[in-house]
């Protein structure tokens, strides 16, 4: 065979491999789907993300939001490497959402109370947010600084005069 090369043509890396290499090289724990659009079509990215979740390398914490995972110490099932609060804070920073800790967490951190807050709550200031972030049964809850004027508040039925 004159003129043919003995070495086969190298295959292009598959979408999943390229995607995982990029995710593993990132410094943060949160991966947004919009950061991955350059690796392929929506279907290819969806398939690759599903495979990575099946392999236990990623966990889904919200719509278009994934976190790097590691095997759990007891069950061996994949779990996020950081707690939900840290992942939510990183997600908000990446999405450009201004946030503060929730009121209960602020009171605990300032020493005003010794009761440890068990819910993951964030204050989004004047911004309303409906993004659901969760790991298992733990869900991020939101509070904000929006208050309705007194004249717009509905009175309860028990407070109405008879």
Alpha carbons 90 and 10: distance in angstroms, whole number: 38
Rounded average pLDDT over 74-86: 95
- Give the model's pLDDT for residue 115: 93
Tell whether the model's pLDDT for residue 145 goes beyond 60: yes
Quick one: tokens of 96? 């450009």
Tell whether the model's pLDDT for residue 155 goes beyond 60: no
* Mean pLDDT rounded to a whole number for the chain: 87
Tens digit of each residue's pLDDT (9 = 90 or more) over 29-46: 999 999 999 999 999 999
Q: Which residues contact 140 (CB under 8 A, 6 or more apart)?
A: 84, 85, 88, 120, 121, 122, 132, 133, 134
Residue with the bigger pLDDT between 48 and 146: it is 48
Rounded average pLDDT over 54-68: 97
- Fold type of domain 13-82: Arc Repressor Mutant, subunit A (1.10.10)
- Give the model's pLDDT for residue 146: 78
Quick one: tokens of 149? 């004027």
- Give the model's pLDDT for residue 72: 93
Least confident stretch, 17-26, 49-58, 122-131, 139-148 = 139-148
Q: How confident is the model at residue 152 (pLDDT cuts 50, 70, 90)?
A: low
- Give the model's pLDDT for residue 150: 54
Give the start-to-end residue ranges of the domains of the chain.
Answer: 13-82, 83-152
Tens digit of each residue's pLDDT (9 = 90 or more) over 124-143: 988 888 899 999 999 999 99
Whole-prediction pTM: 0.79
């Amino acid at each position: 065979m004159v003129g043919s090369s003995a070495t086969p043509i190298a295959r292009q890396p598959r979408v999943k491999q390229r995607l995982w290499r990029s995710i593993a090289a990132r410094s943060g724990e949160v991966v947004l789907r919009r950061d991955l659009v350059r690796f392929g079509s929506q279907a290819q990215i969806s398939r690759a993300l599903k495979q990575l979740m099946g392999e236990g390398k990623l966990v889904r914490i919200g719509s278009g939001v994934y976190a790097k995972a590691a095997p759990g110490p007891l069950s061996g099932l994949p779990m996020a490497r950081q707690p939900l609060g840290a992942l939510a804070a990183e997600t908000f920073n990446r999405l450009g959402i201004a946030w503060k800790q929730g009121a209960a967490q602020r009171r605990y951190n300032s020493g005003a109370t010794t009761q440890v807050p068990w819910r993951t709550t964030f204050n989004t200031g004047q911004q309303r947010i409906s993004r659901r972030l969760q790991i298992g049964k733990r869900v991020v809850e939101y509070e904000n600084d929006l208050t309705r004027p007194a004249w717009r508040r509905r009175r309860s039925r028990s407070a109405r005069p008879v």
